[in-house]
Amino acid sequence: MTDREQRELYEAAKIIQKAYRSYKGRKKLEEQDKERAAAVLIQNYYRRYKQVCQPSVKRNFISYILVYIYVYRVFQGESDSLQ
């Protein structure tokens, strides 16, 4: 093989390697984007869960329900006495 043919072969190999490395890099970025999106989704669900299930929120909700039941019973008692 002549020097010129070897150089052309070497340049062709460099182009092929560059294209393959670019392809692998794009695939890796796509995979990282998917993982990042999944992590964001999980974090959002966890934050919502923490907001709903915090003890203070639970206590406030329970207090609200108890007041509602009390008011309901008071009005039921009043409506019974009105009849």
In this prediction, residue 53 carries a pLDDT of 73
- The structural domain count of the chain equals 1
The string of pLDDT tens digits covering residues 28-48 is 999 999 888 888 888 888 888
Q: Examine the pLDDT at 78 and tell me if it is beyond 60.
A: no
**C-alpha distances in angstroms, 58 versus 7, 43, 45, 52, 67?**
74, 21, 18, 7, 14
pTM of structure: 0.49
**DSSP letter (8 states) at residue 15:** H
Domain carrying residue 49: 3-82
CA–CA dist 35, 27 (Å, integer): 12
At a CB cut-off of 8 Å and minimum separation 6, what does 57 contact?
Answer: 51
Q: Examine the pLDDT at 83 and tell me if it is beyond 50.
A: no
